């Protein structure tokens, strides 16, 4: 991630720092609401989540999703949760419960978009084919033309089931792997862009001591999820995928982030197909989609 690919400022203004700090006022609240919203929409019980993770208690997960919980939500926890639910991590940076991320879409479409990442490509293709069989020929041809143009621009929905998380994700090992990668990548990012430790710590909202710990690949220290948001906003990055490029135990997590744009294709195709149905039919198809997802929890 070099300066040639992103607009980087060696000196971030106090006004920009103040803006970031202002955005942090409800940040943890939005993250907790988004995590809880995805859990509810995907029909995930806490007892199920406990079976998917090792290294964390169910009550701890509940606290992270509770709006009144005053402490930070760890970056690696939100990252791991995004993998389990197959929802882009950046989606948790906004309040999905208030539909900010899916602005302008009705609740049926929001529910569909919150689920489709977990579906194997073959299953999603079958779901879209079902919708095509329900609409008239003209609408079907319009949809197929839309799909062809979209996939020519962003790429086809290749199967990504090999990038699904393990049945049981060891959070202790994941944290070690994740923060080690972040440490290596963030230091490289700072040096490539001639950024001082003072600038990095101010943008990320950390003390210089805490930031130095962030760059230490040999010691696992938990950091708030807010630093992921702040690094993107503060340095105007369009992605944070490079920060997971050094993951060794879970390379699939990084590879999934590399093809995250395919999630955009899935979302656009699902929205386009569902919007061609009547309200009652659309509601029924979303219910079918959610039932399908029960197979892939």
Cα dihedral 50, 165, 64, 115 in deg (nearest 10): -100
| pLDDT at residue 99 greater than cutoff 60 | no
* Cα 57 to Cα 126: distance, rounded to the nearest angstrom: 37
pLDDT band at 105 (very low <50, low <70, confident <90, very high): low
169-200 pLDDT, tens digit per residue, is 999 999 999 999 999 999 999 999 999 999 99
Q: Which pair of structure tokens corresponds to residue 14?
A: 């106090």
238-286 pLDDT, tens digit per residue, is 778 889 999 999 999 999 988 876 777 888 899 899 989 998 998 899 8
pLDDT band at 3 (very low <50, low <70, confident <90, very high): very low
Query: What does the domain layout of the chain look like in residue ranges?
Result: 14-86+165-258, 107-161+260-296
47-97 pLDDT, tens digit per residue, is 999 999 999 988 999 999 998 888 889 999 999 999 999 988 888 887 655
Nearest to 143 by CA among 288, 286, 281, 271: 271
Please provide the average confidence, as pLDDT, over all residues in the chain.
87
Q: Which pair of structure tokens corresponds to residue 130?
A: 């079902």
Within 10 angstroms of residue 167's Cβ, the number of other Cβ atoms is: 7
Coil, strand, or helix at residue 100?
A: coil
Q: What is the pLDDT of residue 58?
A: 86
């Amino acid at each position: 991630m070099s300066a040639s690919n992103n607009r980087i400022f060696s000196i971030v203004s106090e006004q920009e720092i103040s803006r970031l700090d202002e955005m942090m006022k409800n940040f943890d609240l939005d993250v907790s609401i988004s995590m809880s919203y995805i859990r509810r929409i995907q029909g995930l019980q806490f007892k199920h989540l406990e079976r998917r993770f090792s290294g964390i208690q169910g009550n701890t997960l509940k606290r992270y999703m509770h709006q009144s919980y005053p402490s930070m939500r760890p970056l690696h926890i939100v990252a791991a949760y995004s993998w389990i639910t197959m929802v882009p991590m950046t989606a948790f940076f906004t309040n999905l419960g208030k539909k900010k991320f899916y602005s302008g879409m009705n609740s049926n479409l929001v529910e569909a978009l919150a689920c489709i990442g977990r579906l194997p490509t073959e299953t999603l293709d079958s779901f879209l084919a079902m919708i095509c069989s329900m609409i008239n020929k003209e609408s079907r041809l319009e949809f197929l033309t839309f799909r062809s143009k979209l996939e020519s621009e962003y790429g086809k929905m290749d199967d990504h089931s090999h990038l699904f998380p393990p049945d049981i994700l060891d959070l202790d090992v994941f944290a070690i792997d994740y923060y080690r990668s972040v440490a290596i990548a963030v230091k490289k990012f700072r040096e490539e862009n001639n950024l001082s430790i003072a600038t990095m710590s101010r943008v990320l909202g950390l003390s210089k001591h805490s930031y130095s710990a962030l760059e230490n690949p040999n010691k696992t220290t938990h950091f708030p999820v807010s630093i992921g948001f702040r690094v993107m906003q503060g340095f105007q990055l369009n992605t944070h995928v490079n920060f997971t490029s050094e993951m060794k135990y879970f390379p699939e997590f990084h590879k999934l982030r590399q093809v995250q744009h395919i999630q955009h294709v899935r979302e656009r195709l699902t929205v386009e197909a569902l919007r061609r149905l009547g309200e009652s039919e659309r509601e029924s198809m979303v219910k079918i989609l959610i039932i399908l997802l029960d197979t892939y929890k």
